[in-house]
Amino acid sequence: MSFSSMNIGRTGVGFAHHWLDTIAHNIANANTVAPGGEEPFRALQLVARPLGGGPFASTGSGVHVAQQVRDGGDPARTYDPDHPLADEQGTVTQPVVDLGSQMVDMMIAQRAYQANLRTVESAKEAYQAALRLGGSQ
């Protein structure tokens, strides 16, 4: 008996953990203003890819982060000439972070983390059950 289910669950927990870290980084920078002329902070998004056999394969062995993508939306510019980081026109470049979608993603990531932990727990129960094979009832 291999421990493949447990290892697959571990990759899922790892991915969800990484996702939660990324969301925390995005939310923490939701008020990070870029100095005039500099590129604003853009929210990071993770792209998941299957490990092993790929989609619809019996040899699939979990998930991993294939790449990190920056949000490509246009940054909001607000007029605030008193701001220390305002440019010559008195505008401030706001970060590209959609707090609403970050909060929704955080809930999904949290649920994904819990579901993958449940997978690890199920695998543990299966291995413990296998140890009862041949034993007295």
Partner 1 sequence: MWDVTTSAALRALDGLAMRGTLRANNIANSETPNFRASTNNFETSLRDALRRRDPAGAAAPDVVATPSIVDARGNSVDMETELIGSMKDGLHRDAMITSFNYKVGQLRVAMGGRR
Separation between Cα atoms, residue 90 and residue 92, nearest integer Å: 7
Among 33, 75, 112, 124, binds partner 1 (CB under 8 A): 112
Size of the site for partner 1 (CB under 8 A): 41
CA 38 and chain centroid, separation: 26
Nearer to partner 1, 84 or 100 (CB): 100
**Residue 126 binds to partner 1 (criterion: CB under 8 A):** yes
Q: Which helix (H) or strand (E) holds 119?
A: helix 99-130
3-state secondary structure 43-91: CEEEEEEEEECCCCCCCEEEEEEEEEEECCCCCCEEECCCCCCCCCCCE
Site string for partner 1, 42-71 (x = CB under 8 A): -----xxxx----xxxx-xxxx--------
Binding site for partner 1 (CB under 8 A): 1, 4-6, 8-9, 11-12, 15, 19, 47-50, 55-58, 60-63, 108, 111-112, 115-116, 118-119, 122-123, 125-126, 129-130, 132-137
